[in-house]
Amino acid sequence: MKLTLGFCFLICLCRPLPLFPQYAPIVLDDSYEHDKWGTEPRDLMFFFAAYTVSFDGRDDNNGDGNSDLWGIPEWVSYEIKALGEDHSLGNRPRWMTDPELYAAGIAPGDESYGVSGTSRLGEVKTDYRFVRGHLCPKDTAERISRDAAYNTHTLLNAVPQLQWQNNGIWKNLEALCNGWANSWGRIWVICGPVFFNKTPSLWLGQDDEMRVAVPDALFKIVIREDPADALKTLAFLIPNILPKENRNPADFLTSLARIEDLTGLVFLTALGSQGAALKQLKGRIEDWQPLR
């Protein structure tokens, strides 16, 4: 499921590990190329049936010379194919984490997202709180298998999202992506967190819980192969905190180059120098309407 991490985890034996829910069997399908176009850098890599994730490790995220631990994925990429059979998961499972990364203080447990006491506060327990926001959504993974959908419920695939952003504009964009895959046969998505000064200003986690960085915004890049053998791309940069009425993803279109500048990530590395011009373009949703 994952590459060698390059270092040994020191597990503190004096801190008993909680009993985590276990992943469903992970069966990779070679016909899916989740990171076909190449995203760099690659940190702690995990490979699931429905997506590939680079999780933040003990690297220097903001260039200050010190290692950082943000407790979230740096990016998640996945391919979506046109809907064939839908493998509905039904009830959502409990959120999972990676026990080794948890023991090493790299990945959070679900308690970091719980924010003790908020469930009893009607004013904040719905729209006005940060929730575990899927990067690869369950609905998309259900196109592959129930196990693939089940395994989207891991904190390796989540960042703190404001509830109404998660259930509003982000959900709308997820639905658009599924529709585009139905229209064009297959598309690719890359998404992740953005911190505007490359340093988090807001965190979840209380007392001795691991802190989890709250993104200022989230990005989503959508790629498809055009019948003319060219690539079409869309890049969205959506603030994490925005008014409820802002539900139109087209209002937040930008370029891949802009997202690279904000995140330090590099996209389309598989294209080499041929991807440079494409990164400067600001795509149009109109170009993604199905051919008639």
Measured CA to CA, the distance from residue 159 to residue 68 in angstroms comes to 16
The pLDDT value recorded for residue 227 is 78
- Considering the entire predicted model, what is its pTM? 0.91
Task: Read off the pLDDT of residues 80-127 as tens digits, 9 standing for 90 and up.
Answer: 999 998 899 888 899 999 999 999 999 999 999 886 556 566 666 667
The pLDDT value recorded for residue 207 is 82
Helices (H), the chain: 99-103, 111-114, 138-141, 146-150, 163-166, 169-184, 256-263, 276-280
On whether the CB atoms of residues 108 and 210 are closer than 8 A, the answer is yes
What is the block-wise mean pLDDT of the chain (292 residues), using blocks of 10 residues? 40 57 96 98 98 95 88 98 91 92 95 71 71 96 97 98 93 97 97 94 89 97 88 96 90 98 97 93 90 61
Phi/psi at 109 (5° precision): -95, 175
Residue type, 290: P
- 3-state secondary structure (DSSP) of residue 270: helix
* Six-digit token string for 290: 């199905």
Place of tokens 């891949």: 256
Cis amide prior to 73 (ω within 30 degrees): no
Report the half-sphere exposure of 7 (CA within 13 A, side-chain side).
Answer: 11
> Does residue 167 come out as left (phi exceeding 0), alpha (psi in the -120 to 50 range) or beta?
alpha
Number of H helices, E strands in the chain: 8, 13
Give one DSSP letter per residue of 193-237, joined into a string. Answer: EE-TTSS---EE--TTSPPEEPPSEEEEEEEEE-TTS-EEEEEEE
* Six-digit token string for 23: 């992943």
Domains, in order of start, for the chain:
39-82+89-284 (3.40.570.10)
